[in-house]
Amino acid sequence: MQKSAHKRGQLLGVLAASLVLAFSPLVNASTPAPSAALVKYDYDQDIFHPVYAKNGMVAAEQELATRVGVDVLKRGGNAVDAAVAVGFALAVVLPNAGNLGGGGFMMLHDARSGKDIALDFREIAPVRASRDMYLDDKGNVADGRSLYTHLAVGVPGTVAGMEYALKQWGSMKLADIIAPSIKLAEEGMPVSVTLAKMLQVEKDNLGKWPGTRAIFFRNGEPLKAGDRLVQKDLAKSLRLLAKHGSKVFYQGEIGDKIVAEMARHGGLISKDDLRNYKVEQREPVSGDYRGYKVVSMPPPSSGGTHIVQILNMLERYPLAQYGANSAQTIHYLAETMKLAYADRAEYLGDPGFVKVPVRGLTAKRYADELAARIDPQAVLPASAIKPGKPQPYESDQTTHYSVVDSKGNAVAVTYTLNLNFGSGIVAEGTGILLNNEMDDFSAKPGVPNAYGLIGGDANAIQPGKRPLSSMSPTLVLKDGKPWLVTGSPGGARIITTTLQTIVNAIDFGMNPAEAAATPRVHHQWLPDELRVEKGLSPDTLAILRQQGYKVAVKPTMGRTQTIQVRPDGLYGFSDPRNPDGATLGY
């Protein structure tokens, strides 16, 4: 019996914990009737209800891609099969972030072995890249060079990563996995209101390139809501991948067209860059938080390291007693975030090029040292914070999706083009948008990137190096089995968004719907600003300002896709900040 639902509509306003939660209604949504098992989880007290399914579930930012993944599960595929299918589908239906021309990370729990695996298919700097390639003749960062030119493109890893995962842990053939995406690209799909707005916002960048205009423009203007987006060249590329696998991307027809695109416009990617690309299987970063095991991505992602680091500091505070989004809870969130982001700027980079003190940063004793600096009331100004010394303890646009199957396998994937539509450049004849991931390097130490993040020498540009990322696909385990599968896009805010999802679930007992809908806060050390979403109590904001925080109410942060595993089934939710997202199961 199918018990699936998806939310539509927008979040009008939310206040959590001691505040009143006000949510917009779910249209065409259904929830299961209360049962003995659900009462155990305070179903009757839940203000906002997640989607329920018994056997398998997919949570993604675009409903068409979610349906592709659920169909794979229904056909007997496992969570990896479904995750790879969703990855290819999002490249078609979520062109601003889903991709073949970008890269990312996958966190996997393999139920058969009980192992947790971190898969790194992050982009790589071309061999001809150099440390000062984005500086002008005066030594200043040249505006836009690392974002909207062919020099911004890193060697893509998504195609290699998806194929690697399927071969290692999947059960289906690549051609069968890609078939739904070919159909979506060939037949087209209606442009949603959300996608139409993004196309309009990015029209100047997208409109520079004939190959991009041919796909996303009509009569000189970006496609509008309701127009049909047909991607014939992308369908052709997908057919080639279905027939020949990743070899056609890295050593064949598709790769040749990418290299030709680079050559025509002064880009750096060569045939050798593509041929030499390798996926890395890494040991996850892990930590314990209030009896749960948190497993996430290691460097070159900073996400897992700093989520564990912050949780280590937070564990000493009775957050459940303070309440969700109380001034006291937000104070401790902000102070621990600042300390972690200062360390990020100093130590994090590609472990193939720099020694990253992950064990030190995630050590409980190092958290003790950092937390000793936190006053229960006083605000520690950013100017007083320098990167700590973890060594002694050594022993936007992006998208995320989550998948769980009936066998206990769980997959969390976060992958990206970097900004919306990446560089905006489509490799002519491929239909494939190319990333602008090179901006994630430190173009110049101490100068912020597009997300305002400060970087140092550890993340300086070097040939063959992977840029530092905040992407944080994360698994939370209970008794050795997946309990929560989550992650988010959001640039610099990915780490703090994912962190708050975990804290909301563990400390405040929120279900995935409530956790997603609760207003978020963010502090990244520099700029010295406490960023918050609307919906917090005016009283809380007044207390925070009196404490000395520079509070700034800004646009929403993150778009989580979360699945929780309970004894009676799966509960999931797609962040209401994106009305196109959907969680479905069977």
398 counts as catalytic: yes
The rounded distance, in Å, linking the Cα atoms of 93 and 192 is 10
Set 158, 212, 329, 398: catalytic member: 398
Burial class of residue 394, CB neighbours in 10 A (0-12, 13-18, 19+): middle
| Length, in residues, of the chain | 586
- The secondary structure element, H or E, covering residue 517 is helix 512-517
pLDDT band at 41 (very low <50, low <70, confident <90, very high): low
Q: Which of 6-20, 281-295, 300-314 has the lowest mean pLDDT?
A: 6-20
Burial class of residue 334, CB neighbours in 10 A (0-12, 13-18, 19+): buried
Q: Give the bridge partners for 423, in sequence order.
A: none
Q: How far is CA 314 from CA 150, 309, 318, 327, in A?
A: 43, 9, 8, 15
| pLDDT tens digits for range 58-83 | 999 999 999 999 999 999 999 999 99
- pTM of the entire structure? 0.92
Q: How many CB atoms are closer than 10 A to CB 498?
A: 31
Quote the pLDDT of residue 37: 32
Sequence letter at residue 203: K
Mean pLDDT of 383-394: 85
Sequence letter at residue 481: K
| pLDDT tens digits for range 338-369 | 999 999 989 999 999 999 999 999 999 999 99
Quote the pLDDT of residue 442: 86
Please spell the DSSP secondary structure of 425-466, one letter per residue.
PEETTTTEEPP-GGGGSBSSTTS--TT-----GGGB--TTPP
Strand segments, DSSP code E, in 279-343 are 280-282, 285-289, 292-296
Residue 38, pLDDT > 50, answer no
Tokens at 497, concatenated = 């968004």
Quote the pLDDT of residue 12: 31
The angle formed by the CA atoms of residues 32, 38 and 41, to the nearest 5 degrees, is: 130
Read off the DSSP letter of residue 492: G
Read off the DSSP letter of residue 228: E
Tokens at 172, concatenated = 């289906």
| pLDDT tens digits for range 511-552 | 999 999 999 999 999 999 999 999 999 999 999 999 999 999
Residues 6+ apart with CB under 8 A from 112: none
3-state secondary structure of 64: helix
Q: What are phi and psi of 130, to 5 degrees?
A: -140, 160
Quote the pLDDT of residue 198: 97
The rounded distance, in Å, linking the Cα atoms of 362 and 394 is 9
Quote the pLDDT of residue 5: 40
Quote the pLDDT of residue 102: 98
Residue 160, pLDDT > 60, answer yes
Residue 462, pLDDT > 80, answer yes
Phi-psi region of 234 (alpha: psi -120 to 50; beta: other; left: phi over 0): alpha
Quote the pLDDT of residue 394: 62
- Prior bond to 300 cis, omega within 30? yes
Q: How many CB atoms are closer than 10 A to CB 37?
A: 13
| pLDDT tens digits for range 136-157 | 999 998 988 999 999 999 999 9
3-state secondary structure of 45: helix
pLDDT band at 397 (very low <50, low <70, confident <90, very high): confident
Read off the DSSP letter of residue 220: T
**Measured over all CA atoms, what is the biggest interatomic distance in the chain, rounded to whole angstroms?**
70
3-state secondary structure of 216: helix
- The secondary structure element, H or E, covering residue 78 is none
Q: How far is CA 318 from CA 322, 503, 544, in A?
A: 7, 12, 19
Sequence letter at residue 427: A
Q: Beta strand 228-229 with 57-60: parallel, antiparallel or unpaired? A: unpaired
- The secondary structure element, H or E, covering residue 176 is helix 174-187
The rounded distance, in Å, linking the Cα atoms of 374 and 360 is 19
pLDDT band at 581 (very low <50, low <70, confident <90, very high): very high
Residue 467, pLDDT > 70, answer yes
Sequence letter at residue 551: V
Quote the pLDDT of residue 196: 98
Tokens at 474, concatenated = 């994360």
3-state secondary structure of 132: coil
Percent of the chain with pLDDT over 90: 85
| pLDDT tens digits for range 109-129 | 999 999 999 999 999 999 999
Task: For 543-563, give one letter per residue: b (16+ CB within 10 A) or e.
Answer: bbeebebebeeeebbbbbbbb
Contact predicate 574/6, CB 8 Å? yes
The rounded distance, in Å, linking the Cα atoms of 127 and 259 is 13
Contact predicate 347/366, CB 8 Å? no
Quote the pLDDT of residue 57: 98
Quote the pLDDT of residue 32: 35
